[in-house]
């Protein structure tokens, strides 16, 4: 059983509200069952006294009945409001057997020896089973000894043998000393138990803190993982953007030679696999070097951007437009034969001239114009795209040599133009 001593064995446990609640609940249960046992014991003592002294049975019953009712009432009160009044009720319950023993000693002469022995054991048992803090225990011992002293005085007044009074005094004294020792042992035991309990609770608290730390680390790692996923997605997007930028011409925004090589290889593979034809249209701006010389490189760059914009607007959906190098542009025309090349090439040249970009040193037009060479890409030459590009280059410089601002479509039957002539024409363009 527990009491205030178990609530406050040391400062730490006293400050712990949960420990105090546990101690009060345990003490409440202890006092409740002690009150029931005390009531049953007093009743059993009354019955035993009835058989030993039938003449005093009525008086004994009248005196014992209030004690039994008091124990039952204490059990009822401690069950309902025991947490508030548990200490006083527990002390009252411990005094009830003393009153019962005193009545038995005075009214049942035949059972005085047993009653005197039980008188000494009551205080000892109470200290063992309901340990009180020292101050409360001393108060209870004073009350118990007052009851015992009253019993001894009553025995003297009733002219009982002096030896019986001395025996009662000695029994009470021994019981008091033993009760103090037993209560002190119980308090020390409670302090040790409280220390162990607090240690376990401290360990549990540290485990909870560690669990919270792990949970916070998990949340942090989850956030880091989410951030990493976002960064990976952003990195993939930037890589795709870089790959796209790496395949675009910085000045005009058209596809560069890298994009041309990839698209041309894919187109040639498709023709080789599925058949069909495509067109390669290579254009070169007329007298572009003179435009840079007379108007400056900024004007030349503006002309290149303007031509690129015209070509984007003129091209069909699915056709590829590229800056081939310098002032040269190339168009890949899907599903296009030689007749289609003639129409498409003329459409591009007309659109460039119609854009009206000034070129003072390009007589007789005075505008930016272009010459174009075209060749058909089919199953015959798709395995060697370099030869197809060379054929388009030959056709371009045939157009240059024919007066510029015109288109020439390469015929497979045509004799190849000498490379020296092409280089000379390229320098003159």
Residues assigned a catalytic role: 327
From 363, 366, 377, select the one nearest 410 (Cα to Cα). Answer: 377
How many angstroms separate the Cα of 139 from the Cα of each of 88, 91, 210, 240, 251?
Answer: 11, 9, 47, 89, 104
Contact 114, 165 (CB under 8 A): no
R_g of the chain, CA atoms, integer Å: 58
- Residue 324 sits at φ, ψ, to 5 deg, of -80, -30
Taking residue 241's Cβ as centre, other Cβ atoms within 10 Å add up to 10
What does the alpha-carbon distance between residue 201 and residue 212 come to, in Å, rounded to a whole number?
A: 16
316 sits in which H/E element: none
Taking residue 66's Cβ as centre, other Cβ atoms within 10 Å add up to 13
Q: 325 - beta bridge partners?
A: 328
Residue 279 DSSP symbol = E
Q: 408 - beta bridge partners?
A: 373
CB within 8 Å of 243: residues ≥ 6 apart = none
What does the alpha-carbon distance between residue 344 and residue 332 come to, in Å, rounded to a whole number?
A: 11
Instruction: Please report where in the chains the tokens 């009491």 appear, as a residue.
Output: 3
Taking residue 25's Cβ as centre, other Cβ atoms within 10 Å add up to 14
């Amino acid at each position: 059983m527990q009491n205030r001593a178990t609530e406050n064995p040391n400062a730490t446990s006293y400050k712990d509200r949960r420990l105090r609640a546990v101690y009060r609940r345990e003490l409440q249960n202890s006092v409740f069952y002690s009150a029931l046992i005390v009531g049953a014991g007093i009743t059993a003592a009354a019955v035993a006294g009835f058989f030993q002294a039938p003449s005093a049975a009525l008086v004994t019953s009248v005196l014992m009945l209030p004690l039994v009712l008091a124990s039952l009432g204490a059990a009822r009160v401690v069950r309902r409001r025991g947490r508030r009044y548990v200490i006083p009720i527990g002390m009252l319950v411990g005094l009830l057997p003393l009153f019962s023993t005193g009545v038995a000693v005075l009214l049942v002469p035949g059972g005085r020896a047993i009653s005197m022995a039980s008188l000494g054991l009551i205080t000892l048992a109470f200290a063992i089973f309901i340990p009180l803090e020292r101050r409360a225990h001393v108060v209870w011992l004073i009350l118990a000894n007052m009851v015992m002293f009253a019993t001894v005085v009553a025995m003297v007044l009733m002219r009982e043998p002096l030896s019986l009074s001395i025996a009662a005094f000695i029994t009470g004294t021994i019981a008091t000393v033993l009760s103090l020792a037993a209560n002190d042992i119980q308090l020390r035991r409670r302090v040790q138990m409280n220390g162990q309990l607090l240690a376990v609770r401290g360990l549990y608290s540290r485990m909870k803190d560690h669990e919270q730390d792990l949970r916070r680390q998990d949340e942090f790692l989850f956030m880091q993982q989410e951030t990493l996923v976002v960064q990976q997605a952003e990195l993939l997007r930037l890589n795709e953007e870089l790959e796209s930028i790496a395949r675009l011409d910085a000045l005009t925004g058209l596809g560069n030679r890298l994009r041309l090589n990839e698209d041309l290889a894919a187109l040639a593979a498709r023709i080789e696999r599925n058949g069909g034809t495509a067109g390669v249209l290579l254009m070169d701006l007329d007298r572009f070097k003179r435009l840079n010389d007379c108007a400056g490189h900024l004007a030349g760059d503006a002309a290149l951007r303007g031509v690129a914009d015209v070509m984007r607007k003129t091209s069909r959906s699915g056709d590829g437009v590229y800056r081939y190098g310098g002032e040269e542009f190339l168009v890949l025309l899907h599903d296009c034969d030689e007749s289609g090349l003639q129409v498409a090439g003329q459409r591009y040249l007309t659109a460039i001239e119609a854009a009206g970009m000034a070129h003072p040193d390009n007589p007789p037009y005075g505008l930016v114009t272009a010459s174009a060479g075209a060749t058909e890409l089919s199953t015959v030459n798709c395995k060697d795209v370099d030869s197809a590009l060379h054929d388009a280059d030959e056709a371009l410089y045939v157009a240059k040599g024919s007066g510029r601002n015109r288109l020439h479509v390469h015929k497979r039957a045509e004799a190849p133009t000498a490379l020296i002539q092409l280089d000379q024409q390229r320098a003159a363009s």
